[in-house]
Structure 1
Amino acid sequence: MGHWLVIDLEATTEEGGWPLEDMEIIEIGASLVRPNGQEVDHFQRYVRPLRRPHLTAFCRALTHIDQASIDSAAPLPLVWPQFERWLCGHRPRLLGWASWGEYDRRQLEQDWQRLQLHSCLAEVPHLNLKRRFAEARQLPRPVGLNNALQLAGLQFGGQQHRALTDARNTARLLPLALPL
């Protein structure tokens, strides 16, 4: 049986948001799940941003990530190889990777290019679960993760805007959105 990788990123931001090119990853959460959504393994790391290492008050309040956690974290060029080593053991059974929307995929692709990092995920199909869920439910437009969980009769579990928690909640919707 194959597995799906569900990834969620938290990134630097300010109220009103920043353009993607100004955002930097501050937390990676990944949940490796069976197609039924059951978790097999997970990965979580804080990441120290290089260009703007001091989190805005808005970002700290939104993510509940404190500055000390970021200050003691390694930058992405050191964290990403840890992720790749973790993923390497699961790669032969990986069917694809998913995220809630396109942001996470675009942020990763931007950072891989900007920092010249290699990722085996670049060779794995990506599923925009937000769009796929809307199609499966015949919604007029995609909805946020919390609304999608409510539509599926599920409650959000844990603290929102934390990477691993968001990835795990997204993974709960995977069986409802996967192509048959």
Structure 2
Amino acid sequence: MGHWLVIDLEATTEEGGWPLEDMEIIEIGASLVSSGGHEVDHFQRFVRPLRRPHLTAFCRGLTHIDQTKIDAASPLSNVWPQFERWLSGHQPRLTGWASWGDYDRRQLEQDWQCQELTSYLSLIPHLNLKRRFAEARQLPRPVGLNRALQLAGLQFSGQQHRALNDARNTARLLPLILPL
């Protein structure tokens, strides 16, 4: 059996939210999970946004990401090749990648296109685990990650709205959604 990669992104935003095209990635978190549902490896980096490099007070409060971490970070054009190098060692066993909802996939695709980046992820299947969880549990509509964990009898582990913590918590639901 192969591994699944669970990705979560944090991005620039303001209270009430911004349209996807106005958002930029500020943190990438990825948890590589074995067929048994255990983390095999992980990746986490902060990313400096290009258009709006100063985080809004709302964004800082939501993510608990300090402006100094963003100021010291590299832009996505430098961070993404680091991610691809990390991922290359896992490609032979990688079945696909997943995220909680479709936002992360859409944000990545937008940023890859805008910055002329390529990714191995575009060649393998993506699963919207938020939708799959709702289908598996026969819920009337998809729920947030924290609520899904509660429904599964689990508690959120770590700080919410931090990319690696969110990816790891999402990965905990993977065995309940997919036959791993």
Please indicate, yes or no, whether the TM-score normalized by the shorter chain is above 0.5: yes
* 2:70 alignment partner AA: I
The match for 1:86 is 86
TM-score normalized by the length of structure 2: 0.98
Query: Which amino acid letter does the alignment assign opposite residue 86 of structure 2?
Result: W
TM-score by length of structure 1 reads: 0.98
The answer on whether the counterparts of 1:36 and 1:174 sit within 8 Å (CA) in structure 2 is no
In structure 2, what is the equivalent of residue 67 of structure 1? 67
Deviations 1:133-168 (A, max 9, x none): 111111111000000000000000000000000000
Equivalent-residue separation in structure 2 for 1:36 and 1:143 (angstroms): 24
- Choose 67-76 or 35-44, whichever is displaced more: 35-44
Could you report, residue by residue, the CA deviation over 1:66-103 in whole angstroms, capped at 9, with x for unpaired residues?
00000000000000000000000001100000000000
Instruction: For 1:167 and 1:47, locate their aligned partners in 2 and report how far apart those are by CA, in whole Å.
Output: 17
Between the aligned partners of 2:114 and 2:177, the Cα distance in structure 1 is 32
1:76 and 1:61 map into 2 onto residues whose CA distance is 22
Q: Which residue number in structure 2 is paired with residue 163 of structure 1?
A: 163
Unaligned runs of 5+ in 1: none
CA distance in 2, matches of 1:74, 1:14: 22
Aligned 1:11-26 pairs, distance under 5 A: 11-26=11-26
Instruction: Tell me by how many angstroms 1:37 deviates.
Output: 1.9
The separation in 2 between residues aligned to 1:87 and 1:172, in whole angstroms, is 20
Summarize the alignment of residues 103-122 of structure 1 with structure 2, pairs less than 5 Å apart.
103-122=103-122
User: What SS does structure 2 have at the residue aligned with 1:27?
Assistant: strand
In 2: Cα distance, 1:35 partner to 1:102 partner:
23
Aligned to 2:46: 46
Structure 1 distance, partners of 2:6, 2:36, is 13
Cα deviation for residue 34 of structure 1 reads 1.2
Which residue identity is paired with 1:62?
Answer: L
Structure 2 residues without counterparts, runs of 5 or longer: none
Is the deviation greater in 147-156 or in 170-179? 170-179
Asked if the contact 1:5–1:97 (Cα under 8 Å) also holds between the matched residues in 2, the reply is yes
- State the one-letter code of the partner of 2:107: Q
3-state SS of the aligned residue for 2:58? helix
Question: Which residue is equivalent to 1:58?
Answer: 58
Structure 1 residue 174 and structure 2 residue 149: aligned? no
**How far did residue 179 of structure 1 move?**
5.0
Amino acid at match of 1:144: G
Q: CA RMSD in A?
A: 0.8
Name the % identity: 84
Aligned counterparts of 1:179 and 1:128: Cα–Cα separation in 2: 15
Distance 2:179 2:124 in 1: 16
The DSSP-based 3-state class of the residue aligned with 2:165 is helix
Poorly superposed stretches of 4+, deviation over 4 Å: none
Q: How many residues align?
A: 180
**Residue type at the aligned position of 2:95:** L
